[in-house]
Structure 1
Amino acid sequence: MATIEDVLSRQERIEKLFNQLVDSIELNQDMLEEYTKELCDVYSDNSFRHSYAEISKVLEQYSPDQRDALAEHVHTLQKAVLDLNKSQDINNRVLKLCDHVDLECIRIGRIDKVEYIGRMATKELSDADGKLQETEKRAEDLKERIEGYQNQSITILGIFAGLVVAFAGVTQFVSSGLKDLSDISIFKITFFIGFSFLFLYNIIFLLLYCVSKISGRSISVNCKKRNCADCKSCRTNFGRLHKKYPYIFWFNIMGVFFCTILCIIAMRA
């Protein structure tokens, strides 16, 4: 009867043989003879039975390719043992070793497959969660933009309503002023009309400027530099008005000049 030390020694020899087999791509004739004799010597003791649990531990350390190579090499050795050895008992135990290796490879392969499916499912779930969060963020941004557009629309409509009221008020003011100026000189009337429209023009520009700020669209002339502080001609308010809004600048210059001339003429008349 085999001792515990002998059983452990023979089990270790099987594990060592497995390590040699997984490192071999193909078995040449010398290697085949050497491994076959080693396997036969391990199972020469009729009382020895290999441990399925120990074989399972060893196979778990190998990669899938190594396990496939091991299973193929063990079957090759089993055929060689069958051809070399006439002992049916050794043949049966080597065949059982092949069965155990095959079963363990299948079991570990199924576990790897389940783990792979689990990892893929986790990855897909994580990707779906990321896409869901991104979609929710986009929906929230869209909601905020829609609410912003609604607020902007209300504000812009209010500004244009104020513009219409201001225009109507100025028109009424000019009309009533003209009735009172029926006996005054033409220069004073012209001065009054010019000053009124100059005032109305600036009011309209101010309202349009407010609309541009609310909508985020600029009505200024495009500058070569984005930052006005870096532009020498835009460092002062006067220079910035001349650079970015030349139409309002020159209109006011001409309007003030025109009204000043009319005022001087009206005072001397």
Structure 2
Amino acid sequence: MLLEESLRRQQELSSLLYEMASSCMDDVQLRSVAIKLKTLYTSNFRHNYSQFFPMIVEMSQEGNDYSLEYLSTNLEAVRAMVEESYLKDEKEFTTLYRPLSKLSDHINLEIGRYSYYSQNEQKVLDLERKNLMLQTELRNATTALEKAQEKVSTMQTELISVLSIFAAIVLAFSGSISFLGNALSGMTQVTVFKSAFFVLLCGFVIMNLIFLMMYIVGKITGRSIYARCKTEKCTCGKDGSPACNGLKRLRKRLPYIYWINVMLIILMIVDIILWCCNINFWLLPL
């Protein structure tokens, strides 16, 4: 057989195999396929075995209308039809029996080889996926370890700083109380309004000094002493800017400091007014 004729028949065989892989055929279609194969396998035509594997790979790809199950089922059905005719000594498909048996064996062999190849490929993909997961976990563990080491290295310094500031707070508070007591004991001849103003002023200074030290402790330890708001850094306004002014933001985020200072300032103002107006509601010595 000439080479051109062999290539033409091989192309027709490929087209016929693609047709068999596109749907599950009925008996009429199977008989039509058998007749076409009988026409192809004449004049000592032999199919090209090396072209089957690329064809099987293409049929198995996602996104097309082909199925290896259809191909295998239809091919076995045609083979059974031809074999039945051959065993009954019918002359219609006598010459097709042996070539079709070889074709079926070769196709099934390539399907099996592709299945084995696909399983190995899937195993390789699974191993690569596990390898990536392990690498990610290793990087995360390394990062966590580095952060833990940094935290441990700075923990001693933070503890010393916090304890020092708390000691300063205690000393400042106790010293202020002692100073206030000594000052009041020496102010027996001073008017009650002057004494009250002095006490309020000392309370104002001590309260804000203690708050300042607590703020420093919060900065060192990375903890916030602010009350909750819509955003952590007051970026709830347009373009990330604060929606509140300074005093309003202070009242929302530090209400205890704000209201204590407001009360102390109001009391000092009232005390000054009473002192200046010489108003004595309690009949105390002026």
**Alignment TM class, shorter chain as reference:** 0.7 to 0.9
Gaps of 5+ in 2: 279-284
| Counterpart residue type for residue 66 of structure 1 | S
Counterpart of 2:168 in structure 1 is 162
CA contact (8 A) 1:17 1:35 kept: yes
Q: Displacement of 1:101 after TM fit?
A: 0.5
1:75 matched to 2:76: yes
| Counterpart residue type for residue 216 of structure 1 | S
CA contact (8 A) 1:195 1:259 kept: no
Structure 2 counterpart of 1:206, from 191, 206, 209? 209
CA contact (8 A) 2:33 2:78 kept: yes
Q: With structure 2 as the length reference, what TM-score do the two structures score?
A: 0.69
Counterpart of 2:119 in structure 1 is 113
Counterpart of 2:40 in structure 1 is 42
Counterpart of 1:251 in structure 2 is 264
CA contact (8 A) 2:169 2:213 kept: no
User: 2: distance between equivalents of 1:128 and 1:241?
Assistant: 46
CA contact (8 A) 2:75 2:104 kept: yes
Deviates more, 1:59-68 or 1:15-24: 59-68
Question: Identity percentage over the alignment?
Answer: 19
Q: Which deviations, in whole Å up to 9, do the C-alpha atoms of 1:15-45 show, x marking residues without a partner?
A: 121022112322332x222211221222222
Deviates more, 1:66-75 or 1:210-219: 210-219
Q: Displacement of 1:81 after TM fit?
A: 2.2
SS in 2 for 1:186: coil
CA contact (8 A) 1:71 1:102 kept: yes
Q: Which deviations, in whole Å up to 9, do the C-alpha atoms of 1:179-210 show, x marking residues without a partner?
A: 7x3xx743269845862563255223322244
- Alignment of structure 1 residues 45-194 onto 2, 5 Å: 45=43, 47-63=44-60, 66-82=67-83, 83=85, 90-134=96-140, 153-174=159-180, 177=183, 181=186, 185-187=188-190, 191=194
Q: Displacement of 1:123 after TM fit?
A: 3.0
* CA 1:139–1:41: 2 relative to 1, 3 Å: same
What is the Cα-based RMSD across aligned positions, in Å? Answer: 4.3
Deviates more, 1:160-169 or 1:92-101: 160-169
Counterpart of 1:18 in structure 2 is 17
| Counterpart residue type for residue 42 of structure 1 | L
Number of equivalences: 258
Q: Displacement of 1:6 after TM fit?
A: 2.3
| Counterpart residue type for residue 27 of structure 1 | D
User: 2: distance between equivalents of 1:236 and 1:23?
Assistant: 72
Q: Displacement of 1:173 after TM fit?
A: 3.5
Q: Displacement of 1:128 after TM fit?
A: 4.2
User: 2: distance between equivalents of 1:39 and 1:50?
Assistant: 11
* CA 1:259–1:150: 2 relative to 1, 3 Å: farther
Task: Name whichever structure is richer in helix by fraction.
Answer: 1
User: 2: distance between equivalents of 1:109 and 1:173?
Assistant: 91
User: 2: distance between equivalents of 1:236 and 1:66?
Assistant: 69
SS in 1 for 2:128: helix
* CA 1:23–1:171: 2 relative to 1, 3 Å: closer
* CA 1:53–1:209: 2 relative to 1, 3 Å: same
| Counterpart residue type for residue 102 of structure 1 | N
CA contact (8 A) 1:22 1:66 kept: yes
Q: Displacement of 1:103 after TM fit?
A: 0.5
Q: Which deviations, in whole Å up to 9, do the C-alpha atoms of 1:149-206 show, x marking residues without a partner?
A: 7666544432221122223333443455567x3xx74326984586256325522332
| Counterpart residue type for residue 261 of structure 2 | I
Gaps of 5+ in 1: none
Deviates more, 1:100-109 or 1:13-22: 13-22
Q: Which deviations, in whole Å up to 9, do the C-alpha atoms of 1:76-122 show, x marking residues without a partner?
A: 11222221565766422211111100100001111122222222333
